[in-house]
Structure 1
Amino acid sequence: MIDDPAGQARRLAGARFPDALSVILAGSASAGRATATSDLDLVVLVEEGGETYRETIRFEGRLVELFVHTRTGLAELFAADVESRRGTLQSMYADGVVLVDRDGAARAARAFAVADLLAGPRALAPDVVETKRYGLTDALDDLGDARDRFERLAVAEVVLGGAADLLSDHRGAWLGAGKWRPRRLLAADPKLGGALLDGHARLCAEDDPAPLAAAATEVLALVGGPLREGYRRTWHGSPGAVSAARR
């Protein structure tokens, strides 16, 4: 464990961001899960006229991920995180440890973040759900047809991701990537999310695709069932696509 992650983060904030409006220690260090090799995640709010950026540095021998925002930049990034259905930055502001709070700036940003998280992500449009149903159905067919273990492992990742996406949308829950996928999936639906994760683990350990396929099929049943014949999408193009392709 890091002996004093908050102290280390405060020293960095004081040295690099002495005029910050707010500084919040987020990630594993704020939750008490940091190890000797964990980095520090620091979200920093600065005055307008500053920059909004992400940067990785090393401080006192430890990697630090800096997420620096103006109020305008923060509002734009919060909107982007809502659009992506991840709410990543909102979680950092909502759950982190406040180190600096000048004139209530951290409290205001946290309230903004919590409001977004409580509202939840916008539901996917029906045609998007249909396309995702089609993709998961196709991946499940590939999983059943695969005769090579490495192909099954690759397809299993597609099945897990597709099922997690549809289940999270169905439950009105936020998505997660990487280590956040199981956390968010279990929060969305402990029983069925757990079945998906257990099924994926069984396939990886025992090369048995049946539990994962069964759980993903249950997800499909919640959102309209498998979709194969009858699916159709028309490509309408996008501005500049043809000219860009010809360059």
Structure 2
Amino acid sequence: MSHDADAQNHPVQQARRLAAELFPDALGVVLSGSAVSGLATTTSDLDVVVLIEDGGETRRETLRFEGRLVELFVHTQAGLAELFAADTASRRGVMQRMYAEGLILSERDGTASRIKQRAEEALRRGPDALYPDAVESRRYSLTDALDDLGDAGDPVERLTIAGVVLSVATDLLCDHRRAWVGGGKWLPRRLREADPEHARALLDGYRRLCEKGEPEELTEAATSVLTLIGGPLREGYARTWYVTAEPRASAAPTGI
């Protein structure tokens, strides 16, 4: 393939053409993800954020443009406010990160630049802390999972429990460091950002269990995280569920 053809197929150039062709009147179009970080391959999709006028439809859509898969995140300013609030509540900051780390392809009146600045500030502040009862619940869950991991004899069960241990330990550690969390491939990335030392121990332990079936390193790493948070939690843990609606009466005849 020629140099000119390579340039034409570069994800940033493709995204610019998509913005011009599909969203010429948008308030802002931002390219995010691997295309901006430099990690894109020939099969990587494009993550494109599109800000439109209020009155439009906030939506997510997948399409193909010039042969490349595209994930569109289209929203109004009112819709964006709700997305920011939801991503803050989930402690993931997904849309904030897309704006903060994204490349502005087009904008009107500096709108996208102002949102990008807001997103950067939000990421620096970090998520709100979990409520104490939520931390306690996670401490109990991690303690319970570690107990199960020590008892697991079935290799498949051991792998499944190890995933729970890694996930809950990551959630607790990120909250302790007031860092954003992530799922899928973003879990190890956010974990490393939050606490490189504990991240290394957890991820190395998880990998050793997956490769060798040996849980000791993961158990030690997760127990170290528990110690930071207040230690294992077993005896004395209690949780109350509050019923908000009366159960429906049975439709079956009574007295039978």
Q: Between Structure 1 and Structure 2, how many residues are aligned?
A: 243
Q: 2:176 aligned to 170, 174, 180, which one?
A: 170
Equivalence for 1:116: 122
For residue 103 of structure 1, give the secondary structure of its aligned residue in structure 2.
Answer: coil
When the two structures are superposed, what TM-score results if normalisation uses the length of structure 1? 0.95
Equivalence for 1:69: 75
2:226 corresponds to 1:223: no
Provide structure 2 residue ranges, at least 5 long, that are not aligned to the other structure: 1-5, 252-256
Q: 1:54 aligned to 49, 60, 63, which one?
A: 60
For residue 150 of structure 1, give the secondary structure of its aligned residue in structure 2.
Answer: helix
Given residue 160 of structure 2, which amino acid in structure 1 is its aligned partner? A
Given residue 187 of structure 2, which amino acid in structure 1 is its aligned partner? R
Shift in Å at residue 237 of structure 1? 2.2
- For 1:197 and 1:160, how far apart are their aligned partners in 2? 8
- For 2:88 and 2:243, how far apart are their aligned partners in 1? 25
Equivalence for 1:102: 108
Given residue 155 of structure 1, which amino acid in structure 2 is its aligned partner? I
2:20 corresponds to 1:8: no
2:137 corresponds to 1:131: yes
Shift in Å at residue 226 of structure 1? 0.3
Q: CA RMSD in A?
A: 1.4
Shift in Å at residue 74 of structure 1? 0.5
- For 2:192 and 2:246, how far apart are their aligned partners in 1? 39
For residue 20 of structure 1, give the secondary structure of its aligned residue in structure 2.
Answer: coil
- For 1:62 and 1:119, how far apart are their aligned partners in 2? 35
For residue 213 of structure 1, give the secondary structure of its aligned residue in structure 2.
Answer: helix
Equivalence for 1:35: 41
Equivalence for 2:213: 207
User: CA-to-partner distance for each residue in 1:138-195, whole Å, 9 max, x for gaps?
Assistant: 0000000000111100000000000000000000100011111111000000000111
Given residue 99 of structure 1, which amino acid in structure 2 is its aligned partner? L
Over the matched positions of the two proteins, sequence identity in percent amounts to 62
When the two structures are superposed, what TM-score results if normalisation uses the length of structure 2? 0.92
Equivalence for 2:186: 180
Given residue 230 of structure 2, which amino acid in structure 1 is its aligned partner? G
Segments ≥4 residues shifted beyond 3 Å? 240-243
User: CA-to-partner distance for each residue in 1:67-103, whole Å, 9 max, x for gaps?
Assistant: 0111010011001000000001101000011100210
- For 1:171 and 1:236, how far apart are their aligned partners in 2? 31
2:96 corresponds to 1:90: yes
Given residue 137 of structure 1, which amino acid in structure 2 is its aligned partner? T
Provide structure 1 residue ranges, at least 5 long, that are not aligned to the other structure: none
- For 2:208 and 2:246, how far apart are their aligned partners in 1? 43
Structure 1 pair 241/82, CA: closer, same or farther in 2 (3 Å)?
farther
Given residue 40 of structure 1, which amino acid in structure 2 is its aligned partner? L
2:87 corresponds to 1:81: yes
- For 1:237 and 1:30, how far apart are their aligned partners in 2? 48
Q: 1:191 aligned to 191, 197, 204, which one?
A: 197
For residue 137 of structure 1, give the secondary structure of its aligned residue in structure 2.
Answer: helix
